[in-house]
Each structure stands twice: as C-alpha cells, then as structure tokens.
Chain A
Amino acid sequence: MRALTLWNHDLDDACYRARLMASLAGVTLDLRSVDAFPGMEHRGPAMRVLTPMGRLPVLQDGDLVLTQVEPILLHLARTGAKGGAFLPSDGQVHARMEDWLAFHARDMGAASAAREAALFGGDPCVHAPAAREGLRVLEDHMAAQGLRGQGFVAGAAASVADVALFPAFALSRDWNLDHDGFPALRQWARRVRRLTGFVTMPGIPDYH
C-alpha cells in the first residue's frame, strides 16, 4: 500500500491526532520530522510553501496536500483498510460525528492553545477557561451518551470525532486541568485507549 507523508512534530497534539488516526485506520505514514520547537521550522519559508498558515500537521497524498487536521483525519479514515469503521454509515450518526468535528475545530482549539502556552511559553490562563468549558460540554454529552448505552461521541462505535477530541482531554494535565471533575470523559478515554491500533504520545501514559 502507498505511504502518505505526514510533516510531524512529536509533541504537537494535532500531529498526534493524525498519527493516532493513521494507526487506527491502518495507514502507513512516511513521517517527516519538523523542528517546530524550538526551531519554529513550521513557520519558516520552506514549510510555508506547503502550509501557508504555518500549521502542523501537513498530510501529502500524491498531489493532494491537506493542512487542516479534521480533513486530514477524515482522509486517513477513508484511505486506511480499517478506517471505514470510523466513518459511520448511518446518516444521523455521521451527521453527529460532523457536528462534533466542527465543535472540535471551533471550540476545542483553546485546549491546544492552553497546552502550547504551558509547554512552550506563554500564559495558559488566557485559554484555559474556554478549554475547560469545552471539555465540560463534552462531559455533559458523554454522560448522556453513557445513559443511552452509547460509548462514543457520535454513537455506539468510535468515529473520527473521538480521535479528534480524545487528545484535548487526555493531555489536559499538561495545562494543569486534572481529570477529577470529568467522570464520563475518564470512562470514554479508557474506551478509546482500548481501540485496536491505539498509540500514545508523550503526556499520555502507555497503560490503561
């Protein structure tokens, strides 16, 4: 099978989303390491040719270049031999996945920003309240999903939305938000960890 190229930084949570999706979907990635910290290589002129906004990760599949993480996850799911399982066939479940992917894009960026500030310089407090509010909304949703007997964000099975949202919760301790107040997300995170092909990154312990 062909390998897709991922411009990657191991400590970047968006890059982890792509590596996790690829592993779950059975896609082989050709990883190109980018010195994002401290080198800021992703903001340099060479990388700007690929990613004008200076954003990681970048996925290249032949002539196709993707620079936004949600479409990258969807493309990996469509490409991988095992990826179809993460794209719900039911129309309503699929729509719910898309709704939560949009929530990820629009509302959970604060979690990445808080983490980046905490780890690489900046004030995490600027982003932490919005990030915490986003995770509380997800906690409410997963508490309801649990009562419906549905273990994942869009339905009974894991979808691309779970892959997108999992790191925001799993890495929250990096910006000093503990998991104590999120019982439904703790249970959900354990389910995600048990998926075949699950991989970790620094900050996510390698056990469950």
Chain B
Amino acid sequence: MSAPAVPPGWTAVALARDIDAGTSAGVVLGGAEIVVWRDTGGRVHAWEDRCPHRGMKLSFGFVRGDRIACLYHGWEYDGTATCRYIPAHPDLAVPASIRVERYRAAEASGLIWVAAEGTGGAPPEVAGLVALRSLFVDAAAGDALARLAAEGFPGLGPVSGVEQGLFLRFTQGGTAFAVACHAVGPGACALHVLVAGAADAALIPATAAFRRAVEGAA
C-alpha cells in the first residue's frame, strides 16, 4: 500500500510562528504524514515524515544547522532531502540515492503551506491579518467549515460577510476572520485562524468553544 499523496495546490498546515528555526513538527494532511522543519537559518522544508533507513518519523528527529537528523540512528539529511552522513559509518561517502520524498513548502500570510512537488506559483498573501492559533478538531473539514460559516465562533455575535475560498472569510462582532483549513483525515481537521488587527488572547476561549460545539454535533 502506498502512502496517501500530498495534494497539488497549496494547503496551509501550520502557523509560521509555531515552528521555530531549528525545530521540526509532524503534520498529517489527508492521511499523508509530513515533517515540516526549519533549518537554523529559518528556511522551511516539508518532506515525507519517514527516514528511508528504518521508517522512523523524521519529525521525532533533531535539526542541526541546515540538516535534520533521525532520532534512531542519526542519519542526516540536507536541504535537498539527500542523506549526507551516517554516524555508524563516519568515513562512508553516502550514496546520493538515499533520499526522502520532498514537497514544496512556502510561507505566506503568517502560515506555512505545502504542495506536491511540481505545484507552481506561490500561496496567497493576505494583508492586515495576524495569526491567532491552529485549532485541531475531531470533525470533517467540510463540516467544521460549514458550521463556522453559519454560526462563527460561539459568543462573538452574528456572522456577516462570508466569503469561501482558500480562506473562509467572515466578520463577527466587528472582527474580521480568515480561516484556512487542512484535512487531517476523514473525521479530523485543523483550522488555522487569522484575525484582523491584533491577535487577542481573549478570543481563544471562543475557538475552544467552537471545537466543543462542532465535536458535540458530530
């Protein structure tokens, strides 16, 4: 069985500020396991989350300079996803055929976006919005977005100005929101919430209440 494919076209998978330089994180996109990591220079990379050696998740590994190393045996991969160093064989010239599958990765609108290799263009840049949080919900992406478009976040007032696109945009209680969504699996998704003006901690309980509401309805 082959692993689920990363879709063509750009999908937001994390807030840019949630993955610091020199760190890695696992992301599941439509069942495809992806490691998103930043080298110490801050450049973002997205690859299949699997070390070719023993299948360990690279997201469990650690970043050193411009390489990510597997937690199991320390195999190091550079920015081209090619293995460059095997600690158990320090004098070995590592064959260039040891590579991890690579995807496109880019930053825009305060988010990290991934796409299948070969996807053209760049993800959308929206002005005047700042990242609030990523909200992980046990509900299908379509159900979560439909409920958000209809009712917004609990307690923030009526929803107006709904626009569906790569972002779901709406206004609630005088605050403009833009929400990008990625499907984790058939019954789980992540909502990456952007807000106009300043990201106010007082909005967090409303997002948690939305998660409870949509999960309670599922």
Contacts and interface: CB of A to CB of B under 8 A. Distances in A.
A181 B208 contact: no
Contacts of B134: 183
B201 A183 contact: no
Contacts of A143: 133, 204
Given A140-B204, A140-B205, A205-B60, A184 B133 contact: yes
Interface in A166-208: 178-184, 186-187, 190, 205, 207-208
Contacts of B208: 136-137, 140
Nearest to B69: A207
Interface residues of A, number: 21
Interface in B127-164: 132-134, 136
B15 interface: yes
B71 to A, nearest CB: 6
B29 to A, nearest CB: 10
Interface string A29-70: 000000000000000000000000000000000000000000
B42 to A, nearest CB: 16
Nearest to B14: A183
B23 A190 contact: yes
Contact of A186 (B25, B184, B190): B25
A143 B211 CA distance: 14
A77 B133 CA distance: 33
Contact of B18 (A140, A144, A147, A187): A187
A28 interface: no
A180 B182 CA distance: 13
The range of chain B's interface size is 20 to 34
A145 interface: yes
A184 B135 CA distance: 10
A148 interface: yes
A169 B20 CA distance: 19
Contact of B25 (A145, A148, A180, A208): A180
Nearest to A183: B18
Contact of B201 (A145, A179, A187, A190): A145
Contacts of A136: 136, 208, 211
A178 B26 contact: yes
Contact of B71 (A140, A147, A183, A205): A205
B62 A205 contact: yes
A178 B49 CA distance: 13
B116 interface: no
A96 to B, nearest CB: 14
B73 to A, nearest CB: 13
B27 interface: yes
A75 to B, nearest CB: 33
A102 B210 CA distance: 26
Contact of B15 (A140, A180, A183): A183
Contacts of B62: 205, 207-208
Interface string A90-104: 000000000000000
Nearest to B62: A207
Contacts of A180: 25-28, 59, 136, 184
A147 B132 contact: yes
B200 interface: yes
10 contacts: A140-B208, A145-B201, A147-B133, A147-B199, A147-B200, A180-B28, A180-B136, A181-B136, A182-B136, A205-B60
Interface of B: 14-15, 18, 20, 23, 25-28, 59-60, 62, 71, 132-134, 136, 184, 190, 199-201, 204-205, 207-208, 211
Given A180-B136, A183-B15, 14 more contacts: A136-B211, A145-B201, A147-B200, A148-B201, A178-B26, A179-B26, A180-B26, A180-B28, A182-B136, A183-B25, A183-B133, A187-B20, A205-B71, A208-B62
